[in-house]
A and B are shown apart, each in its own frame.
Chain A
Amino acid sequence: QKEVEQDPGPLSVPEGAIVSLNCTYSNSAFQYFMWYRQYSRKGPELLMYTYSSGNKEDGRFTAQVDKSSKYISLFIRDSQPSDSATYLCAMIIQGAQKLVFGQGTRLTINP
Chain B
Amino acid sequence: DSGVTQTPKHLITATGQRVTLRCSPRSGDLSVYWYQQSLDQGLQFLIQYYNGEERAKGNILERFSAQQFPDLHSELNLSSLELGDSALYFCASSPHPREKLFFGSGTQLSVL
Is A43 a contact partner of B42 (Cβ separation < 8 A)? Answer: no
User: Which of B13-21, B62-70, B72-80, B98-106 has 4 or more CB atoms under 8 Å from chain A?
Assistant: B98-106
Whether B24 is near chain A, meaning CB under 8 Å from some CB there, is no
- Total cross-chain contacts (CB, 8 A): 55
Among all A-B residue pairs, the 4 with the closest Cβ atoms: A43-B103, A97-B56, A101-B43, A103-B42
- Which residues of B33-58 have CB atoms within 8 Å of chain A's CB atoms? 33, 35, 42-43, 45, 48, 50, 55-56, 58
Among B45, B98, B102, B108, the one with the most A-chain Cβ atoms within 10 Å of its Cβ is B98
In the bound complex, what is the Cα–Cα distance between A84 and B36 (angstroms)? 22
Partner of B48 from A42, A45, A98, A102 at Cβ < 8 Å: A98
Say yes or no for B81: interface residue by CB 8 A criterion. no
Smallest CB separation, A38 vs chain B (Å): 8
Q: Is B95 an interface residue, CB under 8 A from the partner?
A: no
B58 & A98 in contact (Cβ 8 Å cutoff): yes
Q: By the criterion CB–CB under 8 Å, are B55 and A43 in contact?
A: no
Cβ of A73 to closest chain B Cβ, rounded Å: 19
- Contacts A41-B108, A45-B2 given; does A97 touch B103 at CB 8 Å: no
Does A42 lie within 8 Å of B106, measured CB to CB?
yes
How does the 8 Å CB contact mask read for A89-108 relative to B, with 1 for contact and 0 for none?
00010111111111110000
Q: Give 15 pairs: A residue, B residue, CB < 8 Å, sorted on A.
A: A41-B88, A42-B105, A43-B103, A46-B100, A46-B101, A46-B102, A95-B98, A97-B48, A97-B55, A97-B97, A99-B33, A99-B45, A101-B42, A101-B45, A104-B42
